[in-house]
Structure 1
Amino acid sequence: MKHTRLAAIAALGLAASLSLTACGGDDSAKDSSSKGSSSSSSSDSGSKAESGSDSDGTEAGAGADNAKSGSGEDTKTEAGSGTTQTSGKVKFCTTEDLAIDATDAAPDETSGRINITMINRGSTTCSATGFAGVDIKDEDNTSSPIERGQAQPRITTLKPGDAAVFNLAYDIDSTGESLASPTNIEVTPPNETHSVTLDWPASAGDIKGAYTDVQVFPTHTTK
């Protein structure tokens, strides 16, 4: 009997030991699994956070660059171009600042030419570039606008005291039967609205045809 009890106690002790070992293994597995899960979750969170930070950083950076190129550079460009235009701008000569005169400058007996000279009598440099407006008045009190000749305007900048000239060209009628009887030339300087009235040069040859056959050419400097 005593042997049987000892055997039974030993069997119970072995069973208890096995049970404890099994329990300890399960707990270790659970702990290990739990730690692994926690580590994985932490890693995922870190990746998402890092990815989100990069994305936000990229967008913010692009936005900042766009803002710089959209405002700073454009502003500099506009400011630069505005400064250039302002510093390089020359005002057009006004009629009141010009001394204007008309003279006969025919090169021969068949080609009529009247030179109209404009002298800058103002105190600042001005531009007389372009075509002047010209009307010829006849003794019957009619006025005829003169058409522009085929010529490209040249830059005509006048310092105080400088002169610009433009001319009227036509064919001379040597028959003595011309129907044109000009008395005055009305001149409006380029880019102006005020005009002056000049006498038709007495020595100028008669106009062949009509006033529509006379042409005006653009201004140029006399230098």
Structure 2
Amino acid sequence: MKHTRIAALAALGVAASLSLTACGGDDSGKDSSSKGSSSSSSSSEGGSKPDSGSGSGGSQAGDAKAGSGEDTKAEAAANGAAQTGGKVTFCKTEDLAIDATDAAPDEASGRINITMVNRGSATCSATGFAGVDIKDVDNTSNPIERGQAQPRITTLKAGDAAVFNLAYDIDSSGESLAHPTNIEVTPPNETHSVTLDWPAAAGDIKGAYTDVQVYPTHTTK
């Protein structure tokens, strides 16, 4: 009977040992599978990065942006060159021969024509309004207001002339309070001026110097 119990216990020990071995095999299988799955996932992610386009595709996008920027700069430069190439510089006072003459069309309308001749060697622009001050015998200087007129393109080649005029009403009463002696002229877009004599034949100014107006330049052709 004792022998039988010993044999039974031995059999139980063998069964328990086999059971533990089986459990250990299952765990190791799961770990191996999990590691394999993790390794496979990592491999898959590692392969997806180059294929995602975030590297090479992003670089191409950057190149495209850089290229478009260069194109914009080139276009702007070309436009700037075209604009600069089609534009002439303004006439300098030192390159202009300027004089004033009486050009009254009748006894009631006073007009002084001021002519500017380009005596330089290069084409220049005299477009716009000249600055004009009339000096009186009492040594005052009176700025002349602009008339209601739009400037006209006035481009002068060497030897060409531009004209602008001063307009006012003539006072035939002999009681005019304005006694002009000189006209100070600053060509359009210039800062240097010249002083001309008031034309001796010009009629007297009716009213004040504020009633005289200057009109924009135009060519004589």
TM-score grouping bracket, smaller chain normalisation: 0.7 to 0.9
Q: Deviations for 1:103-123, whole angstroms, at most 9, x for unmatched residues? A: 111122221111101010111
Tell me, in whole angstroms, the C-alpha distance in 1 between the residues paired with 2:118 and 2:138: 33
TM-score (norm 2): 0.78
Deviation at 1:42, TM superposition (A): 7.1
Provide the C-alpha distance between the structure 2 equivalents of 1:115 and 1:161, rounded to a whole number of angstroms. 18
Structure 2 counterpart of 1:52, which letter?
K
SS at match of 1:106: coil
Structure 2 residues not aligned, in runs of 5+: 1-24
Deviations 1:132-164 (A, max 9, x none): 111111122221111111222111110001000
Deviates more, 1:192-201 or 1:163-172: 192-201
Name the structure 1 match of 2:64: 65
Deviation at 1:196, TM superposition (A): 1.3
Identity %: 75
In the alignment, the residues of structure 1 paired with residue 160 and residue 135 of structure 2 have an alpha-carbon distance, to the nearest angstrom, of 28
Q: Please point out which of 140, 144, 151 is paired with 2:138.
A: 140
How far apart are residue 57 of structure 1 and its match?
Answer: 2.5
SS at match of 1:150: coil
The correspondence for 1:104, drawn from 102, 105, 112, is 102
Shift in CA distance, 137/58, structure 1 to aligned 2, threshold 3 Å: same
The aligned counterpart of 2:215 is: 217
1:48 maps to a residue whose letter is E
- Partner AA of 1:65 in structure 2: A
CA distance in 2, matches of 1:110, 1:50: 96
Residue 193 of structure 2 corresponds to residue 195 of structure 1: yes
1:49 aligns with 2:46: yes
Deviation sequence 1:155-184 (CA, Å, 0-9, x none): 111000100000001111121111111111
Aligned partner of 1:152 in structure 2 is 150
**Count of paired positions:** 196
* Structure 1 counterpart of 2:173: 175
| C-alpha distance in structure 2 between counterparts of 1:79 and 1:190, whole Å | 29
Letter in 2 for 1:91: T
Letter in 2 for 1:126: C
Q: Which amino acid counterpart does residue 88 of structure 2 have in structure 1?
A: V
TM-score by length of 1: 0.77
Measured after TM superposition, the shift of residue 50 of structure 1 is: 4.0
Quick one: which amino acid aligns to residue 69 of structure 1? Answer: S
